[in-house]
C-alpha cells in the first residue's frame, strides 16, 4: 500500500493529530527556535536583533553568578531527587500493600492533591509554615526548646527549606506510577519466591525493585528536569535571596531577561541549561536502561 493511500485511509487520525501538532509547534518549537537564535544576538524589546556570535555564551560562562546559580541548582537537585524517589518508593510499597482498594484510592488521591494545586498556592502555604513569628514549624519546635528559625531569611537555611518543601510535596505522580507498575508484576513471581522461603524484604529487593527499573528511570529523568527548572517556589518564597543563596539557573534566566532585559544572555543561559539537561537525561538512560518485560 502506497504512502498516499495509507494517509488517506487514516485521514481522520491525522486530522485529529493536526491541532495538537500545530499547538506544539506554536507554543514549543517556535519559542525554542527563537531562544536559540537570540542566544547569538543582542536584542532589546522593540528593537532589531543584532548578530553577536558567541558573545552571549562567553558572557554567561564568565559570569560568577551563573556558576553560583548552577551550583545551587545542582545541590538542590542532588538533595531533592534521591530523597523524593526513595520516599515515593516506600510510600508506594505501603499503599500498594493495603488490603482494601478504596483505602489505596484515598491515599493516592491525598498524595496527588499537591500535583494539581497551583505552585503559587503551595508556596503561600509553606510561607505560612515557615513564618518565623507565627509559623507552624517554629511553634512545634518551640515545645522542644528549639528556634525560632528564620527558615527563608537565613542564607544557611533558605535553600534547605526549599528542598524540604519539594521533598514533602513531590510524591503524588510517583506514587500513582509506581503502584501501577507494581500491579503489573505477575503474582506468580511472588508465589514462587515465598515457596523458596523469601520474606517480604527479599521479595521487594529481588523482584519488585528490578522490575520497577523502567518506571524508576522515567521518574528519575522527569524529576531531575523538574528540579533543574525550579522557579515558582524561588520567586514566591525567597526571590533568589538572601544574598543569592537560592538563585537557581531558571530564576537567573528570569531576572536577566525580565529585570535587566538582557535577552541575549538569558537565551544563551537557557540553551546551556537545555543542553545540560539533555546530556544528563542521556546518561541516566544509559545507566538505568532496562530490557525487562513482564
Q: Is position 247 within any domain?
A: yes
Q: Is position 39 within any domain?
A: no
Q: pTM to 2 decimals?
A: 0.89
- The C-alpha atoms of residue 284 and residue 249 are separated, in whole angstroms, by 21
Q: Which three cell numbers stand for residue 250?
A: 531558571
Q: Is position 174 within any domain?
A: yes
pLDDT bracket for residue 199 (50, 70, 90): confident
- For the stretch 158-187, pLDDT in tens is 999 999 999 998 888 999 999 999 999 998
Q: pLDDT exceeding 70 applies to what percent of the chain?
A: 96
- For the stretch 38-55, pLDDT in tens is 999 998 887 888 899 899
Cβ-count burial 8-25 (b if 16+ within 10 Å, e if not): eeeeeeeeeeeeeeeeee
DSSP state of 31: H
- For the stretch 92-108, pLDDT in tens is 999 999 989 999 999 99
Q: Is position 258 within any domain?
A: yes
Round the average pLDDT of the chain to a whole number and report it: 90
Contact 245, 155 (CB under 8 A): yes
What pLDDT was estimated at residue 102? 92
DSSP 79-136: HHHHHHHHHHHHHHHHHHT-S-HHHHHHHHHHHHGGGGS-HHHHHHHHHHHH-TTT-H
Please provide the size of the chain in residues: 294
What pLDDT was estimated at residue 1? 55
Beta-bridged to residue 51, according to DSSP, are 41
Query: By residue range, what is the domain housing residue 267?
Result: 65-288
Q: Is position 262 within any domain?
A: yes
Average pLDDT, integer, range 265-286: 91
Q: How far is CA 203 from CA 10, 88, 97, 157, in A?
A: 46, 18, 13, 40
Helix (H, G, I), strand (E, B) or coil at 188: helix
Q: Is position 229 within any domain?
A: yes
CATH code of the domain covering residue 115: 1.10.3720.10
Q: Is 98 exposed, middle or buried (0-12, 13-18, 19+ CB in 10 A)?
A: middle
Does residue 191 carry a pLDDT above 50?
yes
- The C-alpha atoms of residue 123 and residue 237 are separated, in whole angstroms, by 6
Respond yes or no on whether the N-terminal peptide bond of residue 130 is cis (omega within 30° of 0): no
Q: Which three cell numbers stand for residue 81?
A: 531527587
**For 37-41, 70-74, 85-89, 113-117, which range has the lowest pLDDT when averaged over its residues?**
113-117
Task: Count other C-beta atoms under 10 Å from residue 91's C-beta.
Answer: 19
Q: Is position 41 within any domain?
A: no
Domain count, the chain: 1
Q: Is position 143 within any domain?
A: yes
Average pLDDT, integer, range 263-282: 93
- For the stretch 225-256, pLDDT in tens is 999 999 999 999 999 989 999 999 999 999 99
Amino acid at each position: 500500500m502506497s504512502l498516499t493511500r495509507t494517509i488517506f485511509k487514516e485521514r481522520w487520525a491525522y486530522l485529529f493529530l493536526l491541532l495538537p501538532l500545530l499547538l506544539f509547534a506554536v507554543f514549543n518549537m517556535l519559542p525554542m527556535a527563537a531562544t536559540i537564535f537570540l542566544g547569538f544576538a543582542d536584542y532589546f524589546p522593540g528593537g532589531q536583533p543584532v548578530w553577536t556570535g558567541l558573545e552571549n555564551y562567553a558572557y554567561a560562562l564568565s559570569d560568577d553568578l551563573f556558576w553560583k546559580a548552577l551550583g545551587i541548582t545542582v545541590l538542590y537537585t542532588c538533595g531533592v531527587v534521591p530523597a523524593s524517589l526513595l520516599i515515593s518508593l516506600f510510600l508506594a510499597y505501603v499503599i500498594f500493600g493495603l488490603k482494601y482498594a478504596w483505602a489505596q484510592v484515598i491515599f493516592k488521591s491525598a498524595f496527588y492533591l499537591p500535583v494539581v494545586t497551583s505552585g503559587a498556592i503551595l508556596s503561600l502555604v509553606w510561607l505560612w509554615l515557615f513564618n518565623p513569628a507565627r509559623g507552624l514549624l517554629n511553634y512545634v519546635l518551640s515545645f522542644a526548646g528549639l528556634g525560632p528559625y528564620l527558615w527563608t531569611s537565613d542564607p544557611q537555611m533558605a535553600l534547605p527549606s526549599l528542598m524540604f518543601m519539594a521533598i514533602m510535596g513531590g510524591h503524588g505522580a510517583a506514587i500513582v506510577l509506581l503502584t501501577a507498575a507494581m500491579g503489573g508484576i505477575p503474582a506468580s513471581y511472588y508465589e514462587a519466591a515465598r515457596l523458596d522461603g523469601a520474606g517480604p524484604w527479599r521479595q521487594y529487593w529481588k523482584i519488585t525493585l528490578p522490575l520497577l527499573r523502567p518506571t524508576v528511570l522515567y521518574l528519575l529523568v522527569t524529576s531531575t528536569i523538574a528540579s533543574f527548572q525550579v522557579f515558582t517556589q524561588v520567586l514566591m518564597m525567597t526571590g533568589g535571596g538572601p544574598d543569592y543563596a537560592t538563585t537557581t539557573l531558571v530564576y537567573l534566566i528570569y531576572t536577566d531577561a525580565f529585570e535587566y532585559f538582557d535577552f541575549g544572555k538569558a537565551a544563551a543561559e537557557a540553551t546551556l541549561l537545555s543542553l545540560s539537561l539533555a546530556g544528563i537525561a542521556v546518561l541516566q538512560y544509559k545507566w538505568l536502561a532496562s530490557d525487562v518485560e513482564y
